[in-house]
């Protein structure tokens, strides 16, 4: 694929196929830190645009790079403090056309642990939103990701890829049935009110589970989810006091370290008089210490364990996946042709410079009043004004990218000039 001069699209990552959960959890980024990590990424020399996707099954760094390219391995080493020599054999790297193909496949759920699952598209959109809000996504990545969302919709509309998928939730139910024989009368504890936990709980209730308890660090969220199941919200601080009442524990928190350890399991078994407990650990990093699996009567399955038994409906999914791959291949060619024909990067760069100059001009205008503020308050104003610039630029960027997708270079340039003039003060030859 030929692209903007001296600009390359590069993706570096690990996923459930290339790295075990104990390695992936070293790279996992909590939602609360995603904006910080994205800013750190685009702050690296040579990274023009960037986005980070971090889920239980993958951590991927998508960048638009200048030439010569930056050292993304150094970014991983510096941000995650990991031994890159140990990590390197598990990493994959895609460039240009192959990077585009990979992004399309991920968004369309063809690269997921469970092919056809719908959650991944929402996760990609969330990462895109965070990157856009911090100004890390501009012309090149914006057009790529907008196209990826359209391709994902096309795949789901034109194939039956989603209807034949086996969910992690259904796998968990099957495993629970093997352990308990029947789920009739079993009690379920959800720790962390995430979407996958909710789906697993719904499956368990549908197959006979008796009641649901929900523990979450945010009490209100736990109460809302518990109400959906006519269940009971419990205080997160009381977790170890109530966990032994559950036969099945589904855990998916954002904790950086295990919240259930071997000593907890021993206590639970003692209180339960050795009746078995089943832990479904969907979190990355893991919520349940693997040592708990050594206790007789406690069964722990993490996200990788669930993958190994999620082979149901494989033939049906393979047929639909083959059709979806054909759609992806055609869309990659179309994207490549359009990107080669219309380069929006110079227009976007000029537009952002104009808006940023206007922002800085206005800040200089009130500099005397800002001196009375604390560094934290000045930082908050900086974040606020940058956010406003990003929001103001969103509509122009969408319009320019829409014209670029149609191969209309003339309209791209005309829109660029129109919005360039709307950016306000701040041209380099204009007075402050």
Positions marked active-site: 56
Structure token pair of residue 208? 């006979």
**By three-state DSSP, how is residue 299 classified?**
strand
CB-based contacts of 333-338 (< 8 A; 24+ apart in sequence): 335/100, 335/144, 335/147, 336/1, 336/97, 336/100, 337/407, 338/404, 338/405, 338/406, 338/407
Closest to 310 measured CA to CA, from 170, 181, 405, 213: 170
CB-based contact 96:138 (threshold 8 Å)? no
Find the helix packing angle between 139-158 and 96-107, rounded to 10°: 50
Tell the burial category of 54 from Cβ atoms under 10 Å away from its Cβ (0-12, 13-18, 19+): buried
Give the Cα separation of 23 and 342 in Å (integer): 40
Helices (H) and strands (E) in the chain, counts: 18, 10
The answer to whether 277 touches 249, Cβ cutoff 8 Å, is: yes
Among 168, 149, 118, 117, smallest CA distance to 51 is for 149
Q: Could you tell me which of 15, 14, 13, 11 has the C-alpha nearest to residue 95? A: 11
Dihedral-angle region of residue 212 (phi above 0 means left; psi in -120 to 50 means alpha; beta otherwise): beta
3-state SS record for 29-98: CCHHHHHHHHHHHHCCCCEEEEEEEECCCEEEEEEEEECCCCCHHHHHHHHHCCCHHHHHHHCEEEEHHH
Two tokens, residue 167: 């969910």
- The sign of the CA dihedral 151, 153, 158, 164 is positive
């Amino acid at each position: 694929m030929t692209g903007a001069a001296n600009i390359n699209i590069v993706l570096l990552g690990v996923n459930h196929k290339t790295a075990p959960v104990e390695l992936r959890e070293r790279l996992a980024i909590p939602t609360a830190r995603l904006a910080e990590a994205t800013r750190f990424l685009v702050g690296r020399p040579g990274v023009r645009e960037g986005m980070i996707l971090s889920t239980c099954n993958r951590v991927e760094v998508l960048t638009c790079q200048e030439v010569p390219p930056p050292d993304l391995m150094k970014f991983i080493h510096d941000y995650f403090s990991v031994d890159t020599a140990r990590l390197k054999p598990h990493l994959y790297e895609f460039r240009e056309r192959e990077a585009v193909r990979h992004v399309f496949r991920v968004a369309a759920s063809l690269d997921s642990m469970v092919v056809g699952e719908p959650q991944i598209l929402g996760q990609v959109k969330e990462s895109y939103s965070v990157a856009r809000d911090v100004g890390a996504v501009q012309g090149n990545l914006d057009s790529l990701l907008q196209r990826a969302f359209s391709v994902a919709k096309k795949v789901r509309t034109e194939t039956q890829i989603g209807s034949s998928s086996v969910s992690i939730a259904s796998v968990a139910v099957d495993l629970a049935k093997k352990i308990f024989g029947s789920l009739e009368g079993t009690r379920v504890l959800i720790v962390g009110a995430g979407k996958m936990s909710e789906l697993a709980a719904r499956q368990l209730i549908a197959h006979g589970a008796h009641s649901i308890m929900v523990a979450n660090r945010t009490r209100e969220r736990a109460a809302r989810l518990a109400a959906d199941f006519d269940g009971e919200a419990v205080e997160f601080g009381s977790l170890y006091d109530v966990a032994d009442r559950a036969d099945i524990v589904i855990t998916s928190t954002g904790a950086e370290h295990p919240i259930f350890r071997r000593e907890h399991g021993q206590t639970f078994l003692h209180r339960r008089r050795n009746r078995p407990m089943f832990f479904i650990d969907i979190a990355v990093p893991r919520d349940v210490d693997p040592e708990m699996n050594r206790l007789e009567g406690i069964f722990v399955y993490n996200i990788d364990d669930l993958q190994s038994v999620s082979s149901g409906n494989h033939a049906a999914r393979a047929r639909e996946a083959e059709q979806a791959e054909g759609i992806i291949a055609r869309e990659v060619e179309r994207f490549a042709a359009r990107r080669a024909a219309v380069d929006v990067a110079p227009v976007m760069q000029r537009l952002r410079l104009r808006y940023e100059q206007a922002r800085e001009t206005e800040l200089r205008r009130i500099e005397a009043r800002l001196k009375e503020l604390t560094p934290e308050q000045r930082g908050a104003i900086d974040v606020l004004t940058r956010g406003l610039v990003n929001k103001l630029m969103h509509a122009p960027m969408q319009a320019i990218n829409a014209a670029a997708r149609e191969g209309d270079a003339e309209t791209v340039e005309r829109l660029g000039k129109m919005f360039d003039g709307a950016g306000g003060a701040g041209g380099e030859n204009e007075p402050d």
